């Protein structure tokens, strides 16, 4: 539906816009429903000590899928045509559905669910968790950092096309390069924590946030007088630092879930998961709306997009400051599972 809306927009903007809204709303509903169900399945079917590793491996597989799909689709998309786009999107969508069916077929067969020790009303449990200072501050940190993380998601490719002259295939491949950087950053932190016991989760979160801020500043500056190769390098660097931040934030989340009032780990994870999900949608929407709004005030596309990237960089700096106050500085001494 979203791909089909593109040729419709060319001939009838109003109906194309309606089709786009319906299609992207359905995508959002599907992603939200499947993502929430997957997290619930992980929590139910995975031993407590393996949940952090399971969540991280799941994230790594998602990032790898995005990177591979973007790279391959981008290489096939040039020379661009509406028909070619529809064929590629249909193939990717069918492949995703098929892989999903294979992955979940029979996965809940024989799964035993343990009874809850206590049946505390949800709102009461949520209020108790929100009253905890650490949980409340970490919720704000998750929302702030994830808003910054997802703000560029919908504007990076248009920026590359409008300012640097990237073709649709090249800009799609650029997104794949960024997610490849995310995958690399997550692996590097996982290996550093697992094998070398370097640093702490807090230090990795702060490093990832500040590195992301620097990369976004470089992306904004390159719009003034930069090359396509320099933009690609800056985008890959952004991906690496995003990955460093993401995997360390997941580890911190798992560590903080067990602190505070007992028997509330699930409620804390649910609260932080909700903050992440809301921030993902809000960040993408806000970034796109801000870019469109700035283009009404600034005639230069580079200046309009660059101002949004700089605002995103400022959010990452604020997130780093919050992480310094919220996440405890603990050396990594336990034997972490690779990828955790």
Question: Rounded distance, CA 30 to CA 203, Å?
Answer: 35
Coil vs helix vs strand at 332: coil
Rg (CA), the chain: 21
Whether the bond between 265 and the residue before it is cis, its omega within 30 degrees of 0, is no
pLDDT tens digits, residue range 114-150?
Answer: 554 556 666 776 777 777 788 889 999 999 999 999 9
- Least Cα distance to 152 among 170, 178, 187 occurs for 178
pLDDT attached to residue 339: 41
pLDDT tens digits, residue range 67-106?
Answer: 899 889 999 988 889 999 999 999 999 999 999 899 888 8
- b (16+ CB within 10 A) / e for 109-124: eeeeeeeeeeeeeeee
- Would the pTM count as exceeding 0.75? yes
pLDDT at 260 over 70: no
- Least Cα distance to 339 among 117, 144, 64 occurs for 64
pLDDT tens digits, residue range 266-285?
Answer: 677 778 878 888 898 899 99
Q: Which residues pair with 200 in a beta bridge?
A: 331
pLDDT tens digits, residue range 29-69?
Answer: 888 788 777 777 776 777 766 766 777 788 788 888 988 99
- Walk me through the domains of the chain, giving residue ranges and CATH numbers: 1-45 (no CATH), 56-101+122-326 (1.20.1250.20)
């Amino acid at each position: 539906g979203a791909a089909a809306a593109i040729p419709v927009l060319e001939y009838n903007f109003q109906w194309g816009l309606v089709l786009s809204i319906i299609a992207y709303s359905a995508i959002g509903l599907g992603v939200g429903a499947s993502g929430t169900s997957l997290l619930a399945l992980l929590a139910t079917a995975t031993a407590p000590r393996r949940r952090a590793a399971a969540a991280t491996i799941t994230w790594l597989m998602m990032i790898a899928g995005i990177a591979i799909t973007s790279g391959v689709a981008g290489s096939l998309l040039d020379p661009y045509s509406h028909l070619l786009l529809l064929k590629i999107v249909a193939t990717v969508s069918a492949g995703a559905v098929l892989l999903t069916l294979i992955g979940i077929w029979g996965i809940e067969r024989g799964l035993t669910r343990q009874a809850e020790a206590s049946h505390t009303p949800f709102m009461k449990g949520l209020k108790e968790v929100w009253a905890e200072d650490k949980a409340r501050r970490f919720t704000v940190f998750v929302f702030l950092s994830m808003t910054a993380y997802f703000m560029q998601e919908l504007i990076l490719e248009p920026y590359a096309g409008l300012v640097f002259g990237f073709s649709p295939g090249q800009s799609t491949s650029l997104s794949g390069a960024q997610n490849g950087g995310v995958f690399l950053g997550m692996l590097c932190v996982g290996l550093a924590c697992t094998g070398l016991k370097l640093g702490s989760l807090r230090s990795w979160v702060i490093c990832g946030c500040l590195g992301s801020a620097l990369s976004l500043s470089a992306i904004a500056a390159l719009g003034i007088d930069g090359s396509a190769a320099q933009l690609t390098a800056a985008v890959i660097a952004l991906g690496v630092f995003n990955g460093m931040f993401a995997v360390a934030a997941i580890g911190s989340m798992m560590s903080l879930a067990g602190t505070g009032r007992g028997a509330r780990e699930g409620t804390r994870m649910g609260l932080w998961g909700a903050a992440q999900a809301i921030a993902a949608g809000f960040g993408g929407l806000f970034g796109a709306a801000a870019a469109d709004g700035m283009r009404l005030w600034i005639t230069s596309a580079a200046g309009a997009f660059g101002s949004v990237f700089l605002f995103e960089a400022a959010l990452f700096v604020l997130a780093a400051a919050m992480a310094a106050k919220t996440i405890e500085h603990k050396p990594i001494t336990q034997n972490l599972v690779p990828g955790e």
